[in-house]
Amino acid sequence: MDEAATRRRRRLIYGGLVGFLLVLPLLAEAAGQGFYISFATRVLILALAASSLNLILGYGGLVSFGHAAYVGIGGYVVGIAFVHAGDGTPILGLLPGGTDALVLLAAAMAVSGLVAAVIGAICLRTRGVAFIMITLAFAQMLFFFLVSLRRYNGEDGIAVWQRSTLPGPLDLNEPVQFYYLVLGLLLALLYGLNRLVASRFGRALRAARDNEGRAQALGFSTFRYQLTAFVLAGAVAGLAGALLVNATGFVAPSYLHWTRSGDLIVMVVLGGMGTIAGPTLGAAALMGMEEFLPELIDALHDGAGDYWKIVLGPLLIVIVLFARRGLAGVIEAAAGAGALRLPRLIPRRPGQPPRRRRTRR
Amino acid sequence: MDPALVVEQTLNGFQLGVMLFLMAAGLTLVFGIMDLINLAHGSLYMVGAYLTATFAQAFDSFLLGLLLALPAAALVGVIVEVTALRTLYRRAHLDQVLATFGLILFFNELVRMIWGPVPIRLDPPDFLAGQVEVLPGIPYSAFRLAIIVVGIAVAIGLWALIARTRLGMRIRAGASNRPMATALGVDIARLFTVVFALGAALAALAGGMAGAVLSVEVGMGEQILLLTFVVIVIGGIGSVRGAFFGALLVGLVDTYGRAFLPDLLRLVLEPAVADGVGASLASMAIYLVMALVLVVRPRGLFPAHG
Amino acid sequence: MTADAVLRAQGLTKRYGGLVANDRIDLDVRAGEIHAVIGPNGAGKTTLIGQLTGAVRANAGRVHLAGRDVTALSPARRARLGLARSFQITNVFAGFSALENVAVAAQARAGHSFRFWAPADRDADLNARAADALAQVGLGRLADRPAGALAHGQKRRLEIAMALVQAPRVVLLDEPMAGTGPDEAADLLALLGQLKGRLAMLLVEHDMDAVFSLADRITVLVEGRVISAGAPEAIRRDPAVRAAYLGTDEAAPGAAGAR
């Protein structure tokens, strides 16, 4: 049957991509381009963050415009622990600082998840335009909160000049080891996400995305599932933030800047919303553009590369208007699936129940 | 507390409030009538500021610059509406977010290309450069006072427009019940272009005046845009009245918070701790107010939709 | 009011500003019966459905489901307690297959969905129940088709399957015949006839043929008030009903037809 062939080709393409990621450090070292290992590490970390956003945006249909906040919180967990490990003072007078990666990654997930729980519980009381504005506003609140913390250098943030430590011979200072750690985490996350969205929980979440009023009439307390997804997404974003600090060597309020949240949305949509591989493809594409588009433009017109975003802006509009299914859709088409029934991910608005109606008490 | 300081901070709060109102009034109608989320409203504010500065320099008059910038910004608004936003009305909110996010990137880069990355100066007119005595012994910047007066005048004008004119009736109908308004024969598309142009002019007015208080720079639009969102959420989407009271509330809470919270906390905490906690609380104050409003009234203080 | 009422409304009132949409409505549905609610447009039927399901908060009055006061509960809670509904405007998950639409309904009834790992679409229990319900409404062959691609009448039947699979105490059917052609309407009528006696139903419908042939009891709403309630024969003879509702067409029952 044709569908089997399509599935085989799809597997081949994604298998090839994973294979490429597995050998990338070897290729980069062979080519003497060590830079690409750290660049790819950052891409994969942001893929982790974008994939977490995809859970609520792509599968939950919730346009959260503050997701960078949870990345930033996770980053600050590492940064603050590092500061206190350095001067030996306890955090908030209670906890010791530290640099143990396993503890820090878990703590980053816990703190980000907790913050997401509080913010999500308030934001999910609204829908539509209000939800977008409120998620954005709370992220902005956290941004200004961190700016106000003089203990942690306010706007300048924290230089974390020592990477978190792993047990045994493992060492995050080794770019290749760090790369494989991140790749392993990303692949594990994507596998887990794949299971999650197909599970009963995932189905309830998708049902609420497609038609929330109907899902409630069937007996789903949609708020609970959406909030759970919001918290899970926040926790994974926190993990990404903790890794990102290790990759860049600093954490600052700029991690939480609203444009970072916008970037994450762009990655998800560019790659293909509500697909497992999409956000990773989108992260690679956006960061690739950021890295190489300026050079490319410079080559065309000297000095113009500095203004590359004047290209990115309209490009986004074009993508929104014409390329709805993103890069994952391109791969899907390449695999021969073509017009295979891929449901619209966010339903068109006409024919939807009114979205501002409060359906919960 | 020093009464002069209280008066000064109150006026500062009003000044920020009316500025936010100028931004929020247009934006909330766009949200309310078209159910469209427009992130690029801040870009119109920025463009307004740059146009004001350019015209002011060319004609050596702030007032003339500002007056010319308003229709120019309205024109930019119409162009944006017709070329980009019009295709987005029926799209999902996510599409609108992305496309208008793209518009912001575009405008920021465009402005940086035309005017350069360095902030440019815009001076208030000479006759408003000094201070006036608002109360015996309490001087206050004449220009900031003028901003408050202009803002309140615009608020009254808008109220009259919306409450007393045919156009206003259509706007109210469109904001509260679009299908009904369409059924009554209101041309929603044209109405929206008009509202959008009006909103752009008001944003430019805010931008031009703010440029003379702060500075004219790339990215200035986003800072106020995010505050404007808070205003609209608090006031209730689609409600101009909500935008007005929301704006004053946000303006005052933000200004008072920054001015007085650390001092107030010093009464109960050690000075160093009080300053730190006070600064943090002050920076979050308006968002906490927003959260509180949402918990009590998820649709804002003055919800427009029945 | 009998003791075996599975759904009972008492004094339901809803005001929108100064406008009274519903005024002290009393109504009950007994086990196994079909209770129809009719009334001209604007009579308050939609508001009533909203109040019964919990989507609309009543200003006054109470709703009991199987003896339990559910007035303060959300639509989702009421659904889990056994109140299923179909919608006036077809309301299915267009992106899901027909089978998955029913399976997701079964899932909603099967308790919480905090199960994160096992694939839901390979859940034999849910699938078997969904397939059974689909077969009951005659959609067994179309199980794999995306719900969005079904014909209108098929979607209406899919909605009934979604209600059936929930093994509800009572089903609210909000104009199940709306928008169907004559053949589809006849099929639906036959289907509802088969289900009669097994399931308590509250039927809101404009199709008078359907109402008078199916209903055990009828309640007539006019301008938010119950003007008459009783067996079909009594309703047919009630002069107040004839005046208020059927007055435009003396030949009435049977002639009003589908909208």
What's the rounded Cα separation, in Å, for the pair B267 and A215? 52
* Top-confidence range, A51-65, A88-102, B18-32, B288-302: A51-65
- Per residue in C102-135, pLDDT tens? 999 999 999 899 999 999 999 999 999 999 999 9
What percentage of chain C carries pLDDT values higher than 90?
64
Residue A347: band (very low, low, confident or very high) from pLDDT cuts 50, 70, 90: very low
C119 interaction partners in chain A (CB closer than 8 Å): 195, 198-199
What percentage of chain A carries pLDDT values higher than 70?
93
Residue B1 scores a pLDDT above 70: no
> Of residues A246 and A335, which shows the higher confidence score?
A246
Residue A337: band (very low, low, confident or very high) from pLDDT cuts 50, 70, 90: low
Residue C241 scores a pLDDT above 90: no
Write down the pTM of the prediction.
0.90
Residue A342, pLDDT score: 44
Q: Which two structure tokens, joined as six digits, stand for B224?
A: 């106020």
Residue C255 scores a pLDDT above 80: no
Residue C3, pLDDT score: 55
- Per residue in A58-104, pLDDT tens? 999 999 999 999 999 999 999 999 999 999 999 988 899 989 999 99
Residue A204, pLDDT score: 97
A352: in domain:
no
The three-class DSSP label of residue B298 is: coil
Domain count of chain A? 1
Exposure string of B60-80, with b = 16+ CB inside 10 Å and e = fewer, is eebeebbbbbbebbbebbeeb
Query: What ipTM does this complex have?
Result: 0.89
Residue A156: band (very low, low, confident or very high) from pLDDT cuts 50, 70, 90: very high
Cβ-proximal residues to C137 (8 Å cutoff; 6+ apart), any chain: C157, C158, C160, C161, C164, C191
Residue B85, pLDDT score: 87
Residue C246, pLDDT score: 57
Residue B178 scores a pLDDT above 80: no
Q: Given A147, A269, A313, which is nearest B283 (Cβ)?
A: A147
B90–A145 C-beta distance less than 8 A: no
A258–B98 C-beta distance less than 8 A: no
Residues 221-250 of B with CB under 8 A from A: 222, 226, 229-230, 232-233, 237
Strand locations in A101-226, DSSP E? Answer: 158-159
Residue A341: band (very low, low, confident or very high) from pLDDT cuts 50, 70, 90: very low
Residue A271: band (very low, low, confident or very high) from pLDDT cuts 50, 70, 90: very high
Q: What is the mean pLDDT of the segment spanning C32-55?
A: 90
Average pLDDT value over all residues in chain C: 88
Chains with ≥3 CB–CB distances under 8 Å to B: A
Strand order through the sheet with C170-174:
C83-86, C170-174, C200-204, C34-38, C217-222, C225-230
Q: Which two structure tokens, joined as six digits, stand for B69?
A: 């910038």
Residue A346, pLDDT score: 43
Alpha-carbon A7 to chain mean position? 27
Q: Which two structure tokens, joined as six digits, stand for A216?
A: 């409630």
> Of residues B65 and B133, which shows the higher confidence score?
B65
DSSP state of C150: S
C74–A360 C-beta distance less than 8 A: yes
Q: Does C92 touch chain A (CB under 8 A)?
A: yes
Judged by average pLDDT, the poorest of A113-122, A274-283, B207-216, B262-271 is B262-271
Could you tell me the domains of chain B?
A: 11-125+141-296 (1.10.3470)
A353: in domain:
no
Residue B273 scores a pLDDT above 70: yes
Q: Does A321 touch chain B (CB under 8 A)?
A: yes
Q: For tokens 């998620």, what's the residue?
A: A135
Report the CATH number at residue A127: 1.10.3470
Q: Given C76, C96, C146, which is nearest A219 (Cβ)?
A: C76
A343: in domain:
no
Q: For tokens 């299908």, what's the residue?
A: B179
What's the rounded Cα separation, in Å, for the pair A217 and A215? 5
Residue A212, pLDDT score: 94
A126 interaction partners in chain B (CB closer than 8 Å): 294, 298-299
**Are C258 and C185 within 8 A, CB to CB?**
yes
- Per residue in C24-35, pLDDT tens? 999 999 999 999
B298–A136 C-beta distance less than 8 A: no
A199 interaction partners in chain C (CB closer than 8 Å): 115-120
- Per residue in A282-318, pLDDT tens? 999 999 998 888 888 888 887 777 788 888 888 888 8
Q: What is the mean pLDDT of the segment spanning B177-195?
A: 78
The three-class DSSP label of residue C31 is: coil
Could you tell me the domains of chain C?
A: 1-82+168-259 (3.40.50.300), 93-167 (no CATH)
C104–A204 C-beta distance less than 8 A: yes
Strand C200-204 with C170-174, pairing: parallel
Residue B241 scores a pLDDT above 50: yes
A207–C96 C-beta distance less than 8 A: yes
Residue C1, pLDDT score: 47
DSSP state of C119: B
Chains with ≥3 CB–CB distances under 8 Å to C: A
A126–B294 C-beta distance less than 8 A: yes
Q: Which two structure tokens, joined as six digits, stand for C232?
A: 């079909």
Our CA-based measurement puts residue A273 at a distance from the nearest CA of chain C, in whole angstroms, of 15
Residue A155 scores a pLDDT above 50: yes
The count of other CB atoms within 10 Å of the CB of residue C120 is 22
**Are C192 and C214 within 8 A, CB to CB?**
yes
DSSP state of A353: P
A356: in domain:
no
Enclosing H/E stretch for A103: helix A101-123
User: What is the Cα Rg of chain B in Å?
Assistant: 20
Closest alpha carbon within chain A to C82: A219
Closest alpha carbon within chain B to A264: B98
Q: What is the mean pLDDT of the segment spanning A268-281?
A: 95
C115–A216 C-beta distance less than 8 A: no
Residue C248, pLDDT score: 53
Q: Does A347 touch chain C (CB under 8 A)?
A: yes
Residue B186, pLDDT score: 75
Residue B190, pLDDT score: 85
Burial class (CB in 10 A: 0-12, 13-18, 19+), B215: middle
Domain limits at A56? 2-334
What's the rounded Cα separation, in Å, for the pair C104 and C110? 10
> Of residues C204 and A315, which shows the higher confidence score?
C204
Among B1, B20, B15, residue whose Cα is nearest residue B255: B15
Closest alpha carbon within chain B to A142: B284
* Residue B260, amino acid: F
The count of other CB atoms within 10 Å of the CB of residue A187 is 15
Work out the angle at residue A270's Cα, subtended by the Cα atoms of residues A311 and A351, and round it to the nearest 5 degrees.
115
Residues 13-32 of B with CB under 8 A from A: 31
A148 interaction partners in chain B (CB closer than 8 Å): 276, 279-280, 282-284
Q: Given B109, B226, B280, which is nearest A309 (Cβ)?
A: B109
Closest alpha carbon within chain A to C80: A219
What's the rounded Cα separation, in Å, for the pair C219 and C205? 11
Q: Which two structure tokens, joined as six digits, stand for B178?
A: 């679009």
Residue C44 scores a pLDDT above 80: yes
Our CA-based measurement puts residue B226 at a distance from the nearest CA of chain A, in whole angstroms, of 7
Q: Given A206, A207, A361, which is nearest C74 (Cβ)?
A: A361
C100–A216 C-beta distance less than 8 A: no
Cα dist from A199 to A61, A105, B150, C89, whole Å: 17, 26, 58, 29
* Residue A103, amino acid: V
> Of residues A325 and A219, which shows the higher confidence score?
A219
A138 interaction partners in chain B (CB closer than 8 Å): 287, 291
A356 interaction partners in chain B (CB closer than 8 Å): 237, 299, 305
Our CA-based measurement puts residue B102 at a distance from the nearest CA of chain A, in whole angstroms, of 4
Residue C40: band (very low, low, confident or very high) from pLDDT cuts 50, 70, 90: confident
Residue C254 scores a pLDDT above 60: no
**Are B218 and B211 within 8 A, CB to CB?**
no
> Of residues C252 and B107, which shows the higher confidence score?
B107
C162–A203 C-beta distance less than 8 A: no
Residue B293, pLDDT score: 92
**How big, in percent rounded to 5, are the helix, strand and coil portions of chain B?**
80, 5, 20
- Per residue in A189-200, pLDDT tens? 999 999 999 999
Residue C184 has φ and ψ, to the nearest 5°, of -60, -40
Residue A350 scores a pLDDT above 50: no
Residues 138-157 of C with CB under 8 A from A: 146, 148
User: Count of CB contacts below 8 A, A vs B?
Assistant: 141
Q: Does B46 touch chain A (CB under 8 A)?
A: no
- Per residue in C166-192, pLDDT tens? 999 999 999 988 888 888 889 899 999
Average pLDDT value over all residues in chain B: 90
A202 interaction partners in chain C (CB closer than 8 Å): 116, 120
Q: What is the mean pLDDT of the segment spanning B97-108?
A: 92
